[in-house]
Amino acid sequence: MSSAAEERTSISNSYWQGRNVLVTGATGLLGGWLAPALIGRGAKVTALARHEAPHSLLARGGWLPRISSVFGSVCDRDLIRGLLAERSFETIFHLGGQPLVDVARKDPVSTLETNVRGCWILLDAAREAGVGQIVMASSEKAYGAGSRMPYREDAPLQGRYPYGVSKSCADLIAGMYAHTYGVRVAIARCVNLFGGGDRNFSRLIPGVIQATLRSQSFQIRGDGKSIRDFLYVEDAVEAYLTLAEHLAEDASLAGEAFNFCQGLHMTMLDLTEKILALMGRPELRPVVQNIGKPDHLSQGLDASKAHQRLGWEARIGLEEGLRRTIAWYRQHMQEAVAVAPVGA
């Protein structure tokens, strides 16, 4: 680690020491890595989740005794208002939501309910409680399918499909609360996250790893030519922590969005073959079904703003991130091969 990185880590640790933090959606992939990182920096963490998740990273890693757990929906206004009024949170990481594109297509109403209504309920409760700062999880899909890529933060929000629309709406609502009511909220727009502990095997990377551990060929429903970018989860954790720290110091960041990505542009087929090579099973070539209708053929972000204004950069490259992720699933192979069907 460079001296500059060590200095930033030291400052970060000092900032979070004793800080009262709420993490919604804490049983998901990002929450399962973010909450332990906060605890490691000395924060007092409360985790909000819809229900107990015995197979979550928090449970598997033995973190639950060090966390105050609250179970319920982010759409429960009475619960959220009461929780924020009683516990005087200094920082909130709002990760809770419905994160799956395919689920959103099948059930748009519940997706909009969770991702949009849940957003304004949390932000309004934060406004009433005077929460110090909020970092809200968004997505590259909030941009929709514009013609100019990679997308910068000033690109229009024009989601067209259920998941993207839910993110476009939530981002606009966050901006409203920042500019109208002075709520200190910033938006983190990440590309596809990956890492150990992701139990959504419909996603490409965990799906390919699971199939390979089963000695099966992964099934790509589309044509395999969709271009995506991927960010290792530990880099995403640093992005969220860095954004929160800067937001605390600089009120002008309220209402601002920041892109976080590696700047990769890989097809799904190329990434699948890379994983197979790293796992030593190149002969398990994926089955390209060429069915289904993808939300976007290509997507990519420009993270220059995060580099310049936050000093953030991804530190873990794709290959190293994949090696770490593969190692995690190998270690937990019995469970990994037993959950969910193969294919994405």
Q: How far is CA 141 from CA 29, 128, 276, 295, in A?
A: 18, 30, 27, 9
Closest to 87 (Cα-Cα) out of 70, 65, 62? 70
Q: 257 exposed, middle or buried (CB, 10 Å; 0-12, 13-18, 19+)?
A: buried
CA angle 298–242–79, rounded 5-degree value: 90
Q: Which tokens belong to 76? A: 């429960």
**φ, ψ for residue 166, nearest 5 deg:** -60, -35
- Identify which of 189, 117, 121, 124 has the alpha carbon closest to the alpha carbon of residue 159: 189
Whether the CB-CB separation of 240 and 135 falls below 8 Å is answered with yes
Query: What is the number of alpha carbons within 13 Å of residue 79 lying toward its C-beta?
Result: 12
User: 240 an active-site residue?
Assistant: no
Dist. CA 66–CA 78, nearest whole Å: 26
**Burial track 306-341 (b if 16+ CB lie within 10 A, e otherwise):** beeebebebebebeebbebbbebbeeeeeebbeeee
Q: Which of 15, 151, 161, 163 is catalytic?
A: 163
Residues belonging to the active site? 163
